[in-house]
Structure 1
Amino acid sequence: MKHILMKLKTAVIAVGLLSGSAMSASVPLVKNLHEGWKFKQARLTNWYPATVPGVVHTDLLQNKIIEDPFFRLNERGLQWIDKEDWIYETRFSLSSDMMQKENMDLVFEGLDTYADVYLNDECILKADNMFRRWSLPVKQYIKEGDNVLKIYFHSPIKIDVPKWDALPYHYPASNDQSENGGLLNKKISIFARKAGYHYGWDWGPRLVTSGIWRPVYIKAWSDSRINDVFIEQKQVNASKAVIAGHIELNADKEMNDVTVTVTDEATGKILGKQQTNLKKGINQVTVNFALSKPKLWWSNGLGEPYLYRFRTDVTANKEILDSKTEKVGIRSLKVVHQPDKDGHTFYIELNGRPVFAKGANYIPCDNFLPRVTPDIYKKTILDAANANMNMLRVWGGGTYESDLFYDLCDEHGIMIWQDFMFACSMYPAEGELLESIRQEAIDNVKRLRNHACIALWCGNNECQDAWLGWGWKPEIEKQSKEYADKVWAQYQQQYHVTLPEVVKEYAPETFYWPSSPFAFEGEPSGTTDGDRHYWSVWHGKVPISDYNKEKSRFFSEYGFQSFPEFESVKRYAPNPEDWDIRSEVMMSHQRGGDHANGLIETYLLNEYKTPHNFQSFLYMNHVLQGDAIKTAIEAHRRQMPYNMGTLFWQHNDCWPVASWASRDYYGRWKAQHYYARKAFEDILISPIVEEDELKVYGVSDRIKGASGKLQVQVCRFDGKIIHDWSKHVSVGGNTSQVYFSAPLTEVLKDTEKGDVYVRVVYADKSGKVYDNNYYLGKQKEMNYPKVNLTTEVQPMAGGYEVTVSSDKFARAVFLSIADNESLYSDNYFDIQPNGSVKVQIATQLPVDKFKESLKLTCLNNEF
C-alpha cells in the first residue's frame, strides 16, 4: 500500500509540474524543422522530396534515383554521389507565441559535413564538422509568415582533394578506400571531421554521405534559458553522494533574484536551491546538494543500474523560465592504472569494487546513420545486455552516438569505453583543424558527461601503435625527417594536450587514455601495462590455441571473421551464381579481400574437415568463429586479476558483409554471440589442458562467493562415462581459481582423445547451473558419430518451442527457418547423448510453414 501511495504522490507531483510549466508564458518554445524539405543536385534543376534527418543517399534511394547501395554490386555504381554538391531547402513559419519571444536559436544537432546555411538568403553558417552541434541566434533574420531555410552541401571530395594535392608528404590512412572511390591513392579522409568509416574500412563500404543527419529545430525564448546542466559527482559511496549541479544559463538582460532549483522528480523533494543575479550573456550557477544513502548505479550483472531524475528549474517572479531533466546514475567509477609487481594495472573500479570488463567493440549500425531507428538501438543494446556484457567500446572511426544509445546503456548497465573519433590514421591537427577538433571534443564531452555509462575517454584507435609499428614513421622519414617530426608533434599536441585538457575541464572525474592500445607515450603497447589489441590469431595466422597463452592487463580488441548465415546472405546476394565466397558479389561484401577469405579457409581446414558446399562452409565458419572467441574469452577470464577486461571485435555491422561481428547487419546472432553469452556468465567453469594436466577453473564476477557442486566428467560420444569426479566447492567472489586438476592420462584411462569430450557442470545452491564442454583436440580430430536428430514442435505465445533430441552427443546444432525476423533463445548448441534441448523461436510463420522450413544442421553430420 505504501508503494502504491508513493506512486500516486509522484504522479500528482508530476502533473502539477507539467501544469505549472504549461501555464508559464516564459518557457522556451521549440519547433522542429523536419517537414517540407526538398533537395537537388546543385548543378541540375530537378527538385525531389527529402527526409530530414537523412542523407543524400537515402533520399536518392527513396526517390528511386538509385538502387539499394547494399544489394549485390550496387555500391560500385554510386561513387559519383560524393563528387557532387547538393542543395536542401524548406519553408516554415512560426506561431505568434514564438514570434513574441525575444530570442530565437536555430539549432543543428548534426550537419554532414561541409555545409553553408542560408536563412532568407542570408548566409548564417559555414559548417565544417559532422560531429559538432551548431546553435545560431536568428531572431534578426526571421520574418512573419514564410521563411526559407537552405543548405548547400559541398562535396567533401572537392573540398579535400586540393588539400591532399598541396602537401609535399601524405598522412597515412590505412583503411581509406580511395581507389574504390576513383581517387587513386588520394586518401583524403584525414582532412574532414567526418566519420572515417564512410570512406571505407576493412568491414565496410565506401559511401561518403552528405546531409542533415541529426535533428534541426528553432528554440524561441525570452529572459533566460538553460544551455547545459552538469551533475558533477564529487564524492560517492554507499553512505553519501556529494554533488555539484553546474548550470549554464544564457540571459538576454541583467536579471535579479533568479532562483535555480534542483529537484528529485521521483519524490518531488527539493535537493538544492541557489538564488542569483544574472548578467547579460552566459552565466554559471552551481547548486550543491547531497544524497544520504544513495541508490547506486551498477553495471550489468552486479546490481540495479538505478537512475535518478534530477530536474533543474530556473524561476523569476514566480514563473518558470526554463526546465531541464537529467537522468543520472550515482556511482563512483574509476580506471585504476597504477604500478604493481608485473607492470601497471588497468581495470574499472565501480563503487569501490574491481570489475572485470566483458563485452565488445561497437561500430555504427548503418552507413546511413539516420536509418538507425530506436528499435535498432534497443535491440543492439539489449543484445549486449542479454549476452551478459557489461561494456561496449565505441570505436573511433565511427561517430559519437545518439543520446538514445547512451540512455539505453545507462538503463541496462552497459559501461562505455568512448573513443574520440580518430582511427588508424594520422591527422594534420594544427590551426583551424585543431581548433575544430577542440570544439568537437567540448560539444561531445559536455553532451555525454552526465551519463553513468561513460567509463573513460580514449584519444584514438591504434594511431600510436600504427605510427611506431606499422611502418608509417619510417615511410615519412624517407621523404623527410622534418615532415615526420611535424606529424608526430601534431599527434602529441592532439592526444596529449588538447583532448586531455578538454576532458579535465569539462568532465574532471572521468579518466582519459591517450590511445588504444597504449602503455607509454612514444612506445609500442605490450602485455604488462595498459590495454592490448591482440591480432596474432587472425592477422598473424597463429593457431587459435595461442589465445590460451597470450596475456594482457586488458584485451580491448581481438577477433575472428565469419560470413553472415545463409538466410542473411540471400538478402543481399540472392542469385545462386553469387553463392561462392569468391564470387564477384561475395568478394565485394568481403572488405578484407581474398587475403581474409584465405585466412578463413586456412583456419577452417586446419581446425575442421572440408565443407561439402557453400551453405556448409558458412555454417562451419560460424562454429569456427564461435569456438575461437569462446577460447579467447575463457582464457582472458582465467587470467583474472592480472587481466581485467576482454572486449572482442566486434558487436555489430554497418552493412551485410563478412566481418568479425558476432551479430550480422540484420541483427541475427552468429554462433559467436551465443557462445560469448555463455562465456560471459557471472560464473564460468572453464576446463583446459595445461602441461598435460586437465584443470578446471572456476571464475566468478559475483560480489559474493557461491557454494555448490562441481562435477567433472570425461565422456564418450555414445554417453559412456570414462572418468567421473564431483565435489562441493565454494567459488569465491571476483576470483579465478583452479578447483580440479589431474594428469590427462589418468582421466583418459587409455581412451583416445578424439573419442571423448570433457563435460563440467557446476550447480550452485540457488539451483543455477553452469556447464561447459571441452575437446582435447582440433574439431577435425574428433571422431564424432553420425547422429539422429528429432524435433517436437509446440505452439507458444509469439512462436514455437522446439525440443531437439539426439541419440548421441551432437555438436553445434543449428536451427534455421525461412523467416528473416525470427529470434532464437539458443542456437549452435551441443546435445548430450540421449538428451534434448528446448529452444523458443519467435516467428509469425503459421505452424505448417514453420515445420516445413525448419532445418537442423549438426557438425557431426557435416563431416
Structure 2
Amino acid sequence: MTLRSAVDTGWRLELTEPAADAPAELRGRSVPAAVPGCVHTDLMAEGLLADPYVGLNEADQHWIGRSGWTWTTSFDLPPTPGDDPRRELVFHGLDTVAEIRVNGQVVGGTADMHRTHIFDVTDVVTPTGNELRVHISSVYAYTEARRAERGELPSTYDEPFNYVRKMAANFGWDWGPTLVTAGIWKPVELLSWSGARIESVVPAVDVPLPGPDGPATATATVRIRRAPGAEERELRIDAHVGGHGATGRVIPGESTATVTVDVPDARLWWPIGMGEQPLYELEMTLGDAEGALDRWRRRIGFRTVALNTEADHAGTPFEILVNGAHVPVRGVNWIPDDCFVSRTGRPEYAAALDHAVEANVNLVRVWGGGIYEKDQFYDLCDERGLLVWQDFLFACATYSEEEPLRGEVLAEARDNVVRLAPHPSLVLWNGNNENLWGHRDWGWPEILQGRSWGLGYYTELLPAVVAELDPTRPYWPGSPYSGSQDRHPNDPLHGPIHIWDVWNERDWTAYAEYQPRFVAEFGFQGPACRPTVLRAVNDAPAAPFGPVADAHQKAKDGVVKLARGVRPHLPERRRTDPEVEMSDWLYLAQLNQARAVRFGVDHLRGQWPRCSGTVLWQLNDCWPVTSWSAVDGDGHRKLMWYALRAAYRPRHAAVSTATGGRHFVRLTNNGADTWRTDLTVQVHTVAGELLNEDTHVTALAPGATAALPVTLPPGRPSRGGRAALVVTVRDDTGVLHRTLTEEDIAADLPPARITAVTEPAPGGDGVLVRVRAHTLLRDLVLNADRLDDSAVVDEQMITLLPGEEHVFQARTTASADDPRWLHPLTLRCVNDLTGED
C-alpha cells in the first residue's frame, strides 16, 4: 500500500542571497521554520520582523522578496511498502522559484506557486539521514529576466506579477500591501510505493432531471503511475459510493481506466436556500492479484450545472442553473484571506464563509489575482451550499503565451481542474479577471505591438483543459465578457459586467442608471472597524488621515473618493477631540459604504430575472485596510455587512424611485416557497405623524416580482423642496425597509433624544441594549467594540420613529453594568452629526 509520510519537522531557514538592504544581523543566521509557512511568518515568530500589518512597517520589508532563502531539514525512509519501492517527494505548494536538492543532488526546480510538484528521489535517498534543501530565489530576479526576454507586458500595476505564476496580489493591489512572499506554503510529503499508485481521479456525476431523488451515476476517470518494470501487470480499480460499487480493469500497458457506479437512490445536492447538501464519499482502490496498492477518497455531490447564455430579446443572459433551476445569484468576491496564505486553514475559512452564509450569500467568486484556495475552502462550500465561481489566475494584465510561461499555465490548469473537480459547490470556471476589458480600453495594444497577451489561454488552452478534464462544468472566457469579441467586453446587455465608474467617478445613486444582465463586480469603499484601525494605525492618537492611515488606503485617490462619496448624503463637521473625530469618520464612511451597497443591490435585484445576479466586491480583506470589504481584515463586520444581509434577503422588498421621482416598492421572491403576507406601506413625517397607510395582500410565487405604490400626500413633491418623509415597508416579521424621501443633509433631522437601558441577555449570551426613541433616530448603531474588541451586534443601522423601541443584542464578555454602553460614542445616529461641536 502506498505510504504518505509528512516532511514537516526539523526545518531551518537561512538568508543565503541577501538583498542590498537586508538587515545585517540576519545574514548567515539560521532560524526555525514552519512548514507550511513563509519567510515573513518565520521571522515574526522569532521576533526578527515587525508585524507588516501595523503602522508603516510594510514599507521597510520589501527586501524580503528581493532576497534568496534556503530551507533545510532531514528525513528517514519509512518501512518498505513492497519490493523495489519508489520514493517521490511531493511539494503541494512552493512559492515560487525554487531548486530542490536531496543529499546534495538537484532533483528538480519550480517556477509556479499554484501547482503541485512531484520529484522522483528513488535513486538518491538512503535509509536514514537524508538532507533536503529547498532554495527559493528572488522572484524579482526571475521576473526581470523574463521581462528582458519578452519585453514590456502591460498591466494595471507597476509590479512584475504577470511574468511569473505567483499570487498577483502579493505584489500589491488597490486593497493590498506589497508583501512579496517566499516559502513552502503547503505540505511536503514523501510517497513510498511499489508496483503502481493512483496519480489522479476525476469524478463526474450524471443526474437525470427532474426529480429530487433517484437514479444517478458517478463515473471516475483514474490515471495510474506504474513503476518501471511493472508496465505489463494487470490492475484492478474498485469504486464505492453511497453503498454501491463497481470494478474496472487496467489492462497491461495502460495507465488510465474509467469506472462507473450506479447509485439508484442518490439525493440531489442543492445551493443554500434551495434544498439540502447531501455529500457522498467516493472511494477508489487500486489493486493487483496480491492486494491493494493505493486508495483515494473524496466527497462528491449529485447535481447538474449549466450556464445559459442563449441570446434573448434583451441581449445575452448569464444564468447559472443547478439541477435545472435558475439560481438567483447573491454573490460576493473572495480575495486571499491573509497575505500570508499558509496561515489560512479550516478555522479561518469557516469563520469567513460563515460571514457569507449569515449575509444570505449563495455564491463566492474566487478572484483571479489570488490563489486556487486550499481544499478546506471548497469542502466548507460543499457543506454550506455556497456555489463557487472559480477564476483561473489571470488578473488585470497581459501574459506571454510563449515558453516557459505557457508550459506552467498548462500544467497549473490541469493540476487544479483535477484537484477541484470533485466539489459539487464549484459551478463555473472563468478564464480571467478584466484582461479582455483591459486589452480593449486601457492602451495595451500600443505597448504590445502585436505580441501575445493571453487571449489564446482564455479562448483555446483553458477551455480545452476544462473540456477534457471537467466536461460537466461550464467555462466562460473572462469577467467581464460579453460573449463575443465583436462586442465590448463590458457591454451591460451581454453577459457579466463590472461597474466601477460609480466608485471612481460618480455618486452611488448612479447605480440606478444600469440595467445589466449580470454584475460580477461592483462596490464602494469604507474604513475598517474601530479595533482593527486602532491596531494598525498606530500613531498616537490614531487619526483618520495622515501618513499611517494613508499607508492603509491603497486605492488611487481613495481618501478623496471616500470624502466625495459622503458629501452629497451625510453631514460632516470637524471635531477638536481626536477620539470624536475618529469615531465620526468611521461611522460616516462606513455608513455611506453601507448605503451605497444597499442602494445598488436593491436596484439590481429589483430587475430580476433580467439581471440574474450580483457578485459584490468584496467579502473579506487580507490585512487591516480601508477597502470595499464587508468584513475587515481582523474579521469584524462593517456596517456594509448588515446592509448586504438585508439587501440579500431571499424575500426582498425595497423602496425605489422611478423616473420623475415617483416612489414605489419593489418586491422580489427568490425564496423556495410562495411569499404570502400582508405588506403594509406607511408614510410618516419626521415628527412621527402617520400620513398614509396602505395594506397589500401579497401572494408572490417563487421567482416572481411585483411593484407596489407609495402614496405620498397630494401635491407634495417626492424629492427636494420640502421636509423629508419616512417610508416604511412592513410584513408580519417586522420592518423590511425604511428610508427617507430626502438626503439626510436636507432632511432637517432633529437633535437625537433617546432613552436606553441595559440588561444581561437571556442565557448569559451577552448584553441587551433597549433603546426608546423620543425623536426620529436615523441609522442608529451600537458600537459595542468600544467595550469589547470581539463583540458582535445582531443588527445595525436602525431608523426609529418617535415612540418606537429597538433592542440590540451584543454577543460580548462585557458587563451589562458597564456605563460605556450608554456613552454618546457607543450609541450613534446621524442626528448626532448635526448642530455645533
Asked whether the equivalents of residues 251 and 279 of structure 1 are also in contact (C-alpha less than 8 Å), the reply is no
The counterpart of 2:748, out of the listed 778, 783, 786, is 783
Asked whether the equivalents of residues 683 and 711 of structure 2 are also in contact (C-alpha less than 8 Å), the reply is no
Q: Distance in 1 between matches of 2:368 and 2:206?
A: 28
Q: Does 1:66 align with 2:40?
A: no
Structure 2, unaligned runs of 5 or more: 18-26, 575-580
Q: Distance in 2 between matches of 1:502 and 1:753?
A: 62
Q: Does 1:276 align with 2:249?
A: yes
- The structural deviation recorded for 1:190 is 1.3
Q: Distance in 2 between matches of 1:853 and 1:390?
A: 37
The counterpart of 1:794, out of the listed 753, 756, 760, is 760
Asked whether the equivalents of residues 237 and 247 of structure 2 are also in contact (C-alpha less than 8 Å), the reply is yes
Partner in structure 2 of residue 626 of structure 1: 594
Partner in structure 2 of residue 559 of structure 1: 523
- The structural deviation recorded for 1:360 is 1.0
Q: Distance in 2 between matches of 1:824 and 1:750?
A: 33
Structure 1, unaligned runs of 5 or more: 1-26, 177-186, 477-482
Question: 1:562-641, aligned counterparts within 5 Å?
Answer: 562-581=526-545, 583-593=546-556, 595-612=557-574, 613-641=581-609
Q: Does 1:856 align with 2:824?
A: no
The counterpart of 2:130, out of the listed 127, 142, 147, is 147
Partner in structure 2 of residue 41 of structure 1: 15
Identity within the alignment, %: 27
The AA in structure 2 aligned to 1:77 is D
Deviation readout 1:752-781 (Å, 9 max, x if unpaired) = 754321000133xxxx55611122122212
The counterpart of 1:261, out of the listed 227, 234, 238, is 238
Partner in structure 2 of residue 22 of structure 1: none
Partner in structure 2 of residue 7 of structure 1: none
Q: Distance in 2 between matches of 1:45 and 1:850?
A: 55
Partner in structure 2 of residue 501 of structure 1: 464
Partner in structure 2 of residue 20 of structure 1: none
Q: Distance in 1 between matches of 2:29 and 2:81?
A: 34
Partner in structure 2 of residue 9 of structure 1: none
Q: Distance in 1 between matches of 2:723 and 2:11?
A: 66
Deviation readout 1:730-771 (Å, 9 max, x if unpaired) = 1121122213355674788999754321000133xxxx5561
The AA in structure 2 aligned to 1:245 is A
Deviation readout 1:483-530 (Å, 9 max, x if unpaired) = 43223xx42212111111111111111111111100122542211111
- The structural deviation recorded for 1:388 is 0.5
Asked whether the equivalents of residues 250 and 256 of structure 2 are also in contact (C-alpha less than 8 Å), the reply is no
The AA in structure 2 aligned to 1:771 is L
Q: Distance in 1 between matches of 2:294 and 2:478?
A: 40
Partner in structure 2 of residue 480 of structure 1: none
- The structural deviation recorded for 1:847 is 4.8
Q: Does 1:202 align with 2:174?
A: yes
Q: Distance in 2 between matches of 1:320 and 1:798?
A: 52
Q: Distance in 1 between matches of 2:264 and 2:226?
A: 34
TM-score (normalised: structure 2): 0.92
Q: Distance in 1 between matches of 2:87 and 2:208?
A: 39
Partner in structure 1 of residue 776 of structure 2: 809
Q: Distance in 2 between matches of 1:710 and 1:826?
A: 22
Asked whether the equivalents of residues 277 and 384 of structure 2 are also in contact (C-alpha less than 8 Å), the reply is yes
Asked whether the equivalents of residues 199 and 205 of structure 1 are also in contact (C-alpha less than 8 Å), the reply is yes
Question: 1:153-164, aligned counterparts within 5 Å?
Answer: 153-164=136-147
Question: 1:128-139, aligned counterparts within 5 Å?
Answer: 128-139=111-122
Partner in structure 2 of residue 115 of structure 1: 98
The counterpart of 2:222, out of the listed 247, 251, 258, is 247
The AA in structure 2 aligned to 1:530 is G
Q: Distance in 1 between matches of 2:686 and 2:155?
A: 51
The AA in structure 1 aligned to 2:797 is Y
Partner in structure 1 of residue 67 of structure 2: 84
Question: 1:116-515, aligned counterparts within 5 Å?
Answer: 116-167=99-150, 169-176=151-158, 187-237=159-209, 238=211, 239-252=214-227, 253-254=230-231, 258-264=235-241, 269-270=243-244, 272-279=245-252, 283-317=255-289, 319-474=291-446, 476=447, 483-487=448-452, 490-515=453-478
Asked whether the equivalents of residues 259 and 273 of structure 1 are also in contact (C-alpha less than 8 Å), the reply is no
Deviation readout 1:150-201 (Å, 9 max, x if unpaired) = 001110111222332455x51112124xxxxxxxxxx322111100111111
Q: Distance in 1 between matches of 2:432 and 2:680?
A: 45
CA spacing shift, 1:790–1:107, aligned 2, 3 Å: same
Over 6 Å off, 4+ runs: 746-752
CA spacing shift, 1:100–1:831, aligned 2, 3 Å: farther
The AA in structure 1 aligned to 2:462 is L
- The structural deviation recorded for 1:717 is 3.0
Q: Distance in 1 between matches of 2:819 and 2:362?
A: 35
The AA in structure 2 aligned to 1:251 is R
Q: Does 1:526 align with 2:473?
A: no
Aligned partner of residue 501 in structure 2, secondary structure: coil
Asked whether the equivalents of residues 346 and 530 of structure 1 are also in contact (C-alpha less than 8 Å), the reply is yes
The AA in structure 2 aligned to 1:649 is W
Aligned Cα root-mean-square deviation (Å): 2.2
The AA in structure 1 aligned to 2:499 is Y
Bigger helix fraction: 1
Q: Distance in 2 between matches of 1:220 and 1:843?
A: 50
Deviation readout 1:597-650 (Å, 9 max, x if unpaired) = 111111111111114423201111111000000001111111111100111111
Q: Distance in 1 between matches of 2:133 and 2:472?
A: 41
Asked whether the equivalents of residues 239 and 259 of structure 2 are also in contact (C-alpha less than 8 Å), the reply is yes
Asked whether the equivalents of residues 787 and 861 of structure 1 are also in contact (C-alpha less than 8 Å), the reply is no
CA spacing shift, 1:721–1:228, aligned 2, 3 Å: same
Aligned partner of residue 344 in structure 1, secondary structure: coil
Higher alpha-carbon deviation: 696-705 or 627-636: 696-705
Aligned partner of residue 249 in structure 1, secondary structure: strand
Asked whether the equivalents of residues 677 and 697 of structure 2 are also in contact (C-alpha less than 8 Å), the reply is yes
The AA in structure 1 aligned to 2:539 is N
Partner in structure 1 of residue 814 of structure 2: 845
Asked whether the equivalents of residues 639 and 796 of structure 2 are also in contact (C-alpha less than 8 Å), the reply is yes
Aligned partner of residue 281 in structure 2, secondary structure: strand
- The structural deviation recorded for 1:303 is 1.4
Q: Distance in 1 between matches of 2:4 and 2:735?
A: 53
Q: Distance in 2 between matches of 1:751 and 1:175?
A: 43
Partner in structure 2 of residue 674 of structure 1: 642
The AA in structure 2 aligned to 1:686 is A
Asked whether the equivalents of residues 251 and 278 of structure 1 are also in contact (C-alpha less than 8 Å), the reply is no
Q: Distance in 2 between matches of 1:574 and 1:814?
A: 25
Higher alpha-carbon deviation: 243-252 or 529-538: 243-252
- The structural deviation recorded for 1:845 is 3.4
- The structural deviation recorded for 1:293 is 4.8
Asked whether the equivalents of residues 683 and 712 of structure 2 are also in contact (C-alpha less than 8 Å), the reply is no
Asked whether the equivalents of residues 112 and 212 of structure 1 are also in contact (C-alpha less than 8 Å), the reply is yes
Deviation readout 1:211-270 (Å, 9 max, x if unpaired) = 0001111121223322222221234422432331222232332476644222235xxx22
Q: Distance in 1 between matches of 2:590 and 2:418?
A: 41
Asked whether the equivalents of residues 552 and 625 of structure 2 are also in contact (C-alpha less than 8 Å), the reply is yes
CA spacing shift, 1:750–1:555, aligned 2, 3 Å: closer
Q: Does 1:649 align with 2:617?
A: yes
Aligned partner of residue 406 in structure 2, secondary structure: helix
Aligned partner of residue 94 in structure 2, secondary structure: coil
Q: Distance in 2 between matches of 1:93 and 1:744?
A: 84
Aligned partner of residue 446 in structure 1, secondary structure: helix
Aligned partner of residue 621 in structure 2, secondary structure: coil
